[in-house]
Every structure is written in C-alpha cells, then in structure tokens.
Structure 1
Amino acid sequence: MKSRYKRALIIIAALVVIGVAASLILNALNSNIALFVTPSEVAAGKAPKDQVFRIGGMVKDESVKRDGLTVHFVITDLVKDIPVAYTGILPDLFKEGKGAVIQGRMNTSGEFIASEVLAKHDENYMPPEAKHALDQAQKNGSNK
C-alpha cells in the first residue's frame, strides 16, 4: 500500500473517531440540560413536554402542606401559580414568601413533580434570569 493511501485512511479514521466522540458528547449534554421557565410560561403551555426543566419564582404564602416526606406547595411569579409536589427533605432556607428554583417535570394532572429544590440563599440575591422572569411576568400581568 502506498503511503498516500495510508495517510488518507488514517485521516478518515481520525475524522470518524472525532465525529463519534462529538455526537456522544452532544447527546450527553442535551440530556442533562434543564431549561428555566416561569410559572406564567408553564401556564401558557410553553414548558417542555416529557422533559426535565426548572421553574423559578416565589413560594406562595400559606401554601406549604406536608404529607409525610412529601411536601406540596405553590410556586408563583406573582401572576400565575403552579402546584408543586416534592418528596424529600427541603433546604433549610426554603420558606413561604421566599424565592426558589425547582427542577422536575409536569405530570398529566398539571402538578409539577420536583426532583430538586433550590432555595434562595441570601435576602438580597436572586439569580438574574429569575429576577428578569419575575419582572417580565409582573409587567405582562399588569398590561392585561
């Protein structure tokens, strides 16, 4: 075999290996992405179907109900409310009237089944996307 053909085979094999590696990496990244949506977007049907996503807002006052290890509460962007169910131990900073970001998926009855709950860790801080989403929801709610 001539060296020219050997070089071409090596280049083709390297491109195939790089292509397979890139597709595996992209597939892994795509399956681990959790989009962030607001309760208003969920109520409008803009939430991903059959996919894990994050919903952020405020925990509605007087909405936390405990049933054993399962906690039911309502997350709101002050315009729309979404009921949430979480089985597990909540973070210490989780409180009514405080910000939270919840990861999970919607069930068929319209309840958000949470797999992870993240509580706001500082009185003055809110993630920029959550703050922007709350401001937009309030602005859109007051325009109607």
Structure 2
Amino acid sequence: MKEKENTISNVVQVYEEKGPIGYWVKKANDTFSNVIRKTGEYGDFNRLEWQFFNAIHEKENLTMSEAARSLDFFTDEAGIEKLVKRFEAQHLIRVHYHDISITEKGRQAYEEVVSVQKEIMIKAMKDISPEAYRTSIETLETLLKNLRPYTV
C-alpha cells in the first residue's frame, strides 16, 4: 500500500512539474495535424491528405466506405468527399462508381510525398531512443486501458 502511495505521489509531482499528460497528447496531435509535407511538383499534403494517400497506395483500390472507415479518426464523410474530389481533380486518383484507385501520376506524387514523410520522421525522432518511444506508447496504452471503464 505504501508503495502505491509513493508511486501516486511521484506521478503527482511530475504532473505538477510537466502538466497533465492529456495536454501533451493534444499538443502532439495538433502538431501532427499541422505538419505539411511539401513537394515540388505535386503541392503540399497535410496529415489527412497524407493518410488518405497512404491508404490508397497500400491497397491499390479502395472503396469510398473503406476510405471513410480508415480516416474516421481524422474527418467525417463530407471531408472524405472533398478530399476525393481534390485528388481526382489533380489526377492523383481515379474514381469509378465507389471505387478509388491511384493513377500513375498519383504513384509518382506518392513517391515524392513518402520521401518527404521519411525525412520528417527522421527529424521528429531525433534524440528519441527506441526504448523511449516504446515506453511512450506503452504508457499511453496503459493509460487508455485504465480509462476505458470511465468512457462512453
């Protein structure tokens, strides 16, 4: 019992020093959302556009409902439709009925965007060890598991 009290006391001390973890999770999410992947020929890609592009590239063909499911964390159906129209107008994808496929121009654009994304990830992970990264994820997993009974 005394050990649990010490652990809680230590966590409270870190909380008071660094702030609540929810603040940092929100700040990280906002930052990830605002990272722009700038390409020379194909324009800029935000987080949602990158996620959409990556999902299409991975599956080759994607239905509208699959796209909506894979991106529901980031946007609603109207946001998906807007994204599809933009990518289609730029000839990065082809839409046939409800099926989405990547075009040759889309494949070329994807290769440029993935190169930029890799560069961003390398810079983002600077000074973060694999152990620290794993600990961060495991801590968030545990926190989410512990909060599950209190969520709707």
Same fold, TM-score > 0.5, yes or no: no
- Taking structure 1 as the reference length, what is the TM-score of the superposition? 0.29
More strand by share: 1
Q: Which has the higher contact order (CA 8 A, sep 6+)?
A: 1
TM, length-normalised to structure 2 = 0.28
The structure with the largest alpha-carbon Rg is 1
Q: Which has the higher helix share?
A: 2
